[in-house]
Structure 1
């Protein structure tokens, strides 16, 4: 079981942590082969998101990931690096803030059973497939509601529904709705919603580009030792 699954954080927290992760990697890069640094970054982003969204935040010593042990001071240094990289702008608006609005707009007359939970599931799933930095939260929310309400939407039907909301771009939304077909059918957000966070980090590892390298003055010394597993 992924360590984060024990916390029972809100889905907003998970999504926000992936947003921080994406934002960091859009400005910095991590050298190939430094899996421990990717894990450390995911822990720092999750911790920061928890501080923004959760009423009760676990101690840093509790934020451990599979195969690695990170000291609290090492996590703190990574948190500070994330904060500086993001220019301390952590108050991101998430797609969840738009869900009720779009459900009322698109499904006022007929609301499918489980629409809200299905839309949430799709939003969290899409976080693994898209660039959260370049995609507006409102677009993600609208696409999730439309996909959850009717999986057989054609472009014409989509444009008709979109016409009630003038600020949305039909082309962008249609592409987002099409991503629903790529969403694994077994995807679930409960009870351990944070399991999604770890799998998202695995997918995002491949997004590292030729950006400013992640450096620590003592990074090599801070590299944690892997846990020894009994046979």
Structure 2
């Protein structure tokens, strides 16, 4: 059964409200380490460049393999968590390619989708990797993440925050969710957002979306978010 980013702690499709406290308690285990945020201040140019190229390659795989956007999102989450806990040597471009392939492969497995290593490496010059090498790198990535593959992301909190709103038209919750989801996808590309917990990114995305879609109700929505016991 494929992993659902909206319900990371369960295989059930329905929304389980009793898991919300666990999500907020556990989300810090699924983000880049605090040490990495300090490293960004001293080696910001290298890591920003590394991450930008890695994301570009991951998105390229999305289009070439026709993946749904949650696979590259999960792959970038794995990549961010890995490079935050594992020192990346500079001047070795093959490492970036290996990290990207391994994170994509892991994300595809979690979403129960086939990932073709040969198709991804087609046209690459200089470095290609065999299955054994990629499998070894996957283990390194998993070890850095403490084998927490069921990532808690901003998508895990979207339904909860929307449930706090008293919408004039209940059917408008889906357009609101769709717009917030679009914002979350775009936010992942910005390295500065690594400083924020998934729940805060989700709450912020929903507030932006609600201000666009329902400006007259926005003050009420804002109060609902700010008064939530889990949001600080």
* Same topology, TM > 0.5: yes
Give the TM-score normalised by the residue count of structure 1: 0.60
For 2:133, the equivalent position in structure 1 comes to: 74
Distance 2:65 2:101 in 1: 13
The 1:143/1:160 distance shift into structure 2, 3 A limit, reads same
**1:51–1:57 contact (8 Å) kept in structure 2:** yes
Equivalences for residues 153-172 of structure 1 within 5 A: 160-169=223-232
Distance 1:26 1:121 in 2: 25
For 1:2, the equivalent position in structure 2 comes to: 60
**2:164–2:225 contact (8 Å) kept in structure 1:** no
Q: 1:94 Cα deviation (Å)?
A: 1.9
Deviations 1:111-148 (A, max 9, x none): 48832222111111111224676532222211111111
Q: Highest relative contact order (Cα 8 Å, sep 6+), 1 or 2?
A: 1
**2:210–2:221 contact (8 Å) kept in structure 1:** no
The 1:65/1:75 distance shift into structure 2, 3 A limit, reads farther
Equivalences for residues 112-151 of structure 1 within 5 A: 114-130=175-191, 135-151=196-212
User: Which of 143, 148, 154 matches 1:89?
Assistant: 148
For 1:212, the equivalent position in structure 2 comes to: none
Distance 2:123 2:182 in 1: 24
* 5+ residue gaps, structure 2: 1-58
**1:39–1:65 contact (8 Å) kept in structure 2:** no
Give the TM-score normalised by the residue count of structure 2: 0.60
Q: 1:10 Cα deviation (Å)?
A: 3.0
Distance 2:146 2:120 in 1: 23
Distance 1:31 1:145 in 2: 38
For 1:210, the equivalent position in structure 2 comes to: none
Distance 1:147 1:50 in 2: 30
User: Which of 83, 86, 90 matches 1:25?
Assistant: 83
* 5+ residue gaps, structure 1: 170-231
**1:43–1:75 contact (8 Å) kept in structure 2:** yes
Distance 2:181 2:123 in 1: 26
Q: How many residues were matched structurally?
A: 167
Q: CA RMSD in A?
A: 3.0
Distance 2:65 2:84 in 1: 28
Distance 1:93 1:4 in 2: 21
For 1:47, the equivalent position in structure 2 comes to: 105
For 1:15, the equivalent position in structure 2 comes to: 73
**Any idea what SS the aligned residue of 2:164 has?**
helix
Distance 1:157 1:167 in 2: 18
Equivalences for residues 195-214 of structure 1 within 5 A: none
For 1:229, the equivalent position in structure 2 comes to: none
